[in-house]
Amino acid sequence: MIFNISYNSFNNYDDPKHIVENPYIPISIVVLYTVFVIWLGPFIMKSREPYKLKKILIFYNFFQVVANAFICIEEFGRVMWFLYITKFIDLLDTVFFVLRKKQAQVTFLHVFHHSGICLLVFWFMIHTEEVAGSYCAFAMGLNSGIHVLMYIYYGIAALGPNMKKYLWWKKYLTALQIGQLCIIFLYMLISVLIGCEELGAFSTITFIYLVFVIILFVNFYAKYRKPRTQKTVIL
C-alpha cells in the first residue's frame, strides 16, 4: 500500500472499536430511519402542520460545517470515531425534511446514500486492519470537504428567504457531488490497478456502491438541471 494512514493512526490513538462491537445497533438505526422517513414520518405528519425548525436548522447546519471541517483538517486516525458518529447524525437531514413536510426531497437516492454510507463506515470501523487504505482517508476527507460547502449553503438558506440572493451557487452543488464521487472512484480504481490496494470484499462493495450512486446522481442532475426545477441532495 502507498501508506496505511487509517490503520496506523487508528492504533496510535484511542481505539473506538468498542462503540461498534454490536452490529445490531447501527443496523437497527438504519432500519428505523428508513421506516420513519418513508412511511411512519409522512403518516404522522399527514394531518399536521409542517414544523419550521428554523433555530434547530441553523444550529444543526453550523454544527455540520464545524464537524466536517474538523474531519478535513485533523489526522484521520484521530477522527475515526467522530466520523462514524457524524454519518448517523447525517440521517437527521432526512428527518428534518419529513418534519417540514418536504417529502419530495426524500428521494430514493437520498435515502439509499445515507443508509448505505452508514453501513459502509460501520464495516470499515469493525474491519479496519483488513480494509484500511489510503483511499479511505482520501475519500472521507474529500467527502467532508464537500459537506462543508453543502452545509454552509443550507445554513444560509435556513436564515430565511431574505438570504436567497446569496444562494446563487446552488446549481453547482450537485455537480460538485458528482465530481467528488468520480474522483474517489478513479482514485480507488488506480490504487487497485497499480497494486497499492487490494481488491477485497470492502473495496468491491464500495466500487459497486459508488457506481450505483454516481448513476443515480447523474440521472438526478440530468432530470433537474433547469434552474427553476433544480434541487440539491445532501451527500
pLDDT in tens, 103-136: 999 999 999 999 999 999 888 877 665 555 566 7
For CA atoms 61, 63, 68, 72, give the dihedral sign.
positive
d(CA 5, CA 217): 30
pLDDT tens, 6-47?
445 444 545 555 556 678 889 999 999 999 999 999 999 999
User: For position 39, what pLDDT does the model report?
Assistant: 97
- Residue 3 pLDDT greater than 80, yes or no: no
Name the packing angle between helices 80-89 and 54-73 (round to 10°): 150
Per the structure block, which three cell numbers stand in for 84?
462514524
In sequence order, the 6+-apart residues with CB closer than 8 A to the CB of 2 are 134, 191, 196
d(CA 52, CA 54): 5
In sequence order, the 6+-apart residues with CB closer than 8 A to the CB of 200 are 130, 131
User: For position 195, what pLDDT does the model report?
Assistant: 75
Say if residues 52 and 100 touch (Cβ distance below 8 Å): yes
Q: What is the mean pLDDT of residues 127-151?
A: 79
Per the structure block, which three cell numbers stand in for 216?
443515480
Q: Which residue has the cell 466536517?
A: 68
pLDDT tens, 57-90?
999 999 999 999 999 888 777 788 888 899 999 9
**Least confident segment among 4-18, 39-53, 166-180, 215-229:** 4-18
- Residue 227 pLDDT greater than 60, yes or no: no
Residue type, 118: C
User: For position 129, what pLDDT does the model report?
Assistant: 57
d(CA 193, CA 189): 6
Instruction: Give residue 174's pLDDT band: very low, low, confident or very high (50, 70, 90).
Output: confident
DSSP 168: T
Name the packing angle between helices 108-126 and 201-223 (round to 10°): 160
Q: What are phi and psi of 196, to 5 degrees?
A: -80, -20
Tell me whether residue 154 is exposed, middle or buried, using C-beta atoms within 10 angstroms of its C-beta: 0 to 12, 13 to 18, 19 or more: buried
Percent above pLDDT 90 for the chain: 51
User: For position 19, what pLDDT does the model report?
Assistant: 56
DSSP calls for 27-60:
HHHHHHHHHIIIIIHHHHHTTSPPP--HHHHHHH
Say if residues 170 and 225 touch (Cβ distance below 8 Å): no
Which residues are catalytically annotated?
113
Say if residues 6 and 80 touch (Cβ distance below 8 Å): yes
User: For position 78, what pLDDT does the model report?
Assistant: 76
